[in-house]
Amino acid sequence: MQDALAIPYPGYEMPVIPPQEETALDFLISLKDAHLVPWSRERAGYPTNSELRRWLNDRAVVINGRKLGPFDPVERPVNSLVFFPKSKGRVTVR
C-alpha cells in the first residue's frame, strides 16, 4: 500500500501556497467569536456577519486609525479598534 503523502515522482516539488492576509471582515468575525464586538442594536445580540460587513462598508469601524473596507488587509499588531467613531455610542476596544 502506498502512502497518501508520498511524493508522486522523483524531482517533484510540492507547491508553496503563500499565507493569505487576514481581511478586516475575517478579523471582526474572529473578534465576534471571542465576544469582543459590540451588540447589534437591531437584533439585541451579537451582530451577524452581514452586519459586520455593512459596518465596514459604511466605514463605521476604524482599525489602527484607518477606515478599512471588508476585504482590505489588516495590519498586525492591532493597537486600536473603534466602532462607530462619529456616534455618541462610540466603542473603543483596547
Edge to edge, what strands does the sheet with 91-93 contain? 66-67, 61-63, 81-83, 91-93
Domains of the chain from N-terminus onward: 24-93 (3.10.290)
Residue of higher predicted confidence among 92 and 73: 73
DSSP string computed for 36-54:
-SPPBTTTTBSPPHHHHHH
DSSP E strands in 4-77: the ranges are 61-63, 66-67
What are the cell numbers at 79?
493597537
- Give the model confidence (pLDDT) of 31-74 as tens digits: 888 878 887 777 778 899 999 999 999 999 999 999 999 999 99
Question: In this model, does residue 3 exceed pLDDT 60?
Answer: no
pTM (2 decimals)?
Answer: 0.72
pLDDT tens for each residue of 5-16: 555 666 767 666
